[in-house]
């Protein structure tokens, strides 16, 4: 974990090399996971804990319609949406939006040595 934002009684954690940001209450209750849906097995060191599926947020388009499954999984981006990859420094803005910096590491689950030119970019992202 390389970023923590505490604001309004909430904790936002960046999950280190994993593509995701989580929201946890001060009393240690998981609220949501902002990440592509692939690769999230059951919790616990041995995978015997509960499924994180109910906490994974759904990506929606500008009209509020869910993005296609390939976008939800994190294997592709939509024209106006992509999950964060290599995100760090989560910050809660006065508007309530979440700002993250995104270095694009392993975007769309590409291998460590892979280079998809469109996937290799740094950016800042704002989520509502």
The SS3 assignment for 45 reads coil
The 10s digit of each residue's pLDDT in 87-126 is 767 777 888 888 877 776 666 665 545 555 555 666 656 5
Q: What is the pLDDT of residue 123?
A: 62
User: What pairs with residue 44 in β-bridges?
Assistant: none
Is position 13 annotated as part of the catalytic site? no
pLDDT above 60: residue 19: yes
Report the distance separating Cα 116 and Cα 38, nearest Å.
19
Exposed/middle/buried for residue 109 (C-beta within 10 Å: 0-12, 13-18, 19+): middle
Please state, as a whole number, how many other Cβ atoms lie within 10 Å of the Cβ of residue 116. 10
DSSP 54-122: GGBPPPB-TTSPBPPHHHHHTSS-BTTB---SSEEEEEE-TTS-EEEEE--TTGGG--TT---GGG---
């Amino acid at each position: 974990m390389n970023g923590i934002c505490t604001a309004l009684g909430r904790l936002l954690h960046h999950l280190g090399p994993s593509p995701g940001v989580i929201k946890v209450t001060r009393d240690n209750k998981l609220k949501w996971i902002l990440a592509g849906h692939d690769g999230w097995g059951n919790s616990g060191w041995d995978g015997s804990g509960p499924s994180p599926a109910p906490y994974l947020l759904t990506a929606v388009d500008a009209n509020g319609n869910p993005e296609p499954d390939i976008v939800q999984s994190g294997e592709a981006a939509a024209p106006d949406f992509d999950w964060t990859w290599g995100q760090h420094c989560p910050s809660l803005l006065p508007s309530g939006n979440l700002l993250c910096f995104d270095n694009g590491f392993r975007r769309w689950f590409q291998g460590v040595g892979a280079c998809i030119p469109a996937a290799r970019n740094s950016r800042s992202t704002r989520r509502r």
